Amino acid sequence: MKKNSFKVAAVLLSGTLLCSSCIGSFGLFNKYEKWQCSMTSNKYVNGIVGLVLQPIVGGVCLFVDALVLNTIEFWSGNNPVTSSTQTVVGQDGRYYAVKTTKTGYEVKAPDGTVTLFIHNAQTDSWSMSQNGVTKEIFRFNADGTIQATLQSGKTITVGNDEAGLLQVRQAVESDDCYAMR
């Protein structure tokens, strides 16, 4: 009887280590789940294949996530499986690689040009950096308004609403520097 209670206590104690508050993002399992749900266009085929693969592949993914990848994520802050880069289609129809950074975003154009969008938490502003030149785009003011910087260097202060967005669009269209591009 003492052997059984010791085994039960050991299993429960090890279970508490796996169920701590630092559970991680489970990036590998989430990628597998996303793939499983979209591997074909037929949801019934996806379900049947999922029933076959889930006990084996899902279990392995959960095990690796819980013991290895989430531990790495806890200590380093980054999960090696999750990718912070996404491909988006621009208004010009070309594909851009957008990578999330600690301070904002890095956008890589199809021609290789890299543009950084940087958030400054102290001034609550966003800047654009390209070819070593950094220009502030806009900042949030304490009174709830937004200060936008036009390409000519002029600044305008607008409300943080749809009317403010319309004012910025009109100012950009009438800005002499913008019209020359």
Tell me: the pLDDT tens digits for 133-159?
999 999 999 998 999 998 888 899 999
Which pLDDT score, from 0 to 100, does residue 114 have?
Answer: 92
Which pLDDT score, from 0 to 100, does residue 16 have?
Answer: 64
Rounded distance between C-alpha atoms, residue 136 and residue 156, angstroms: 13
- Give me the amino acid identity at 60: V
Which pLDDT score, from 0 to 100, does residue 179 have?
Answer: 43
The answer, yes or no, to whether residue 10 has pLDDT greater than 80, is no
Q: What is the mean pLDDT of residues 110-132?
A: 92
The answer, yes or no, to whether residue 19 has pLDDT greater than 70, is no
Beta strands in the chain (DSSP E): 85-89, 95-100, 104-108, 114-120, 125-130, 133-140, 145-149, 155-159
More confident residue, 93 or 15: 93
Q: Using one digit for the tens of pLDDT, what is the confidence trace for 25-36?
A: 788 888 888 888
